[in-house]
Amino acid sequence: MENIKLHYDVIKDDFSCAGEASGKIKKTLKGLGLDSALVRNVAIAVYEGEINMVIHAEGGCIDAEISPDTITVVLKDVGPGIKDVQLAMQEGYSTAPENVRALGFGAGMGLPNIKKYSDEMNIETEVGVGTTITLKFNI
């Protein structure tokens, strides 16, 4: 059985396209007939990750791989990295600039929500280089 692989590029500051990758992943999962609660969890987590890349990073890409028992999503960006991961994981902590908050983003719930809605979350980050978040969802 061949795993399903999906790849999407995410562009810095492109709010009009933000959500396209998570939307397409969601559509694929619905097509596979997965439980609607699981589909919703993946959609929420990936959307938050995608928005984070648009706001904070210089751009990046999202790779999703669906196997018979797991959905793995890797969100990899080139950007400033996260200085203090523990702090960033706190609800309400945000470094989003004012113009982004004016759009309704940057409430400091991004990373906490990603963790809440995924089964496994791993963050690799280096200041000035970039961040890679790997998410796993059990089917």
Instruction: Specify the DSSP element, H or E, that contains 117.
Output: helix 110-117
Stretch that binds other proteins, among 19-27, 53-61, 84-92, 121-129 (CB under 8 A): 19-27
Nearer to other proteins, 34 or 78 (CB): 34
Stretch that binds other proteins, among 7-15, 24-32, 91-99, 118-126 (CB under 8 A): 24-32
Our finding on whether 23 is near other proteins (CB under 8 A) is yes
Instruction: Specify the DSSP element, H or E, that contains 136.
Output: strand 130-138
Our finding on whether 32 is near other proteins (CB under 8 A) is yes
Q: Name which of 62, 51, 63, 64 is nearest 12 in CA terms.
A: 51
Strands lying side by side in the sheet with 70-78 = 4-10, 60-66, 70-78, 130-138, 120-126
Our finding on whether 102 is near other proteins (CB under 8 A) is no
C-alpha torsion angle, residues 10, 13, 18, 20 (rounded to 10):
-40
Q: Can you tell me which of 68, 92, 102, 128 binds other proteins, judged by CB under 8 A?
A: 68
Applying CB under 8 A, which residues contact other proteins? 1-4, 19, 22-23, 26, 28, 30-34, 36-37, 39-40, 43-44, 47, 66, 68, 113, 117, 139
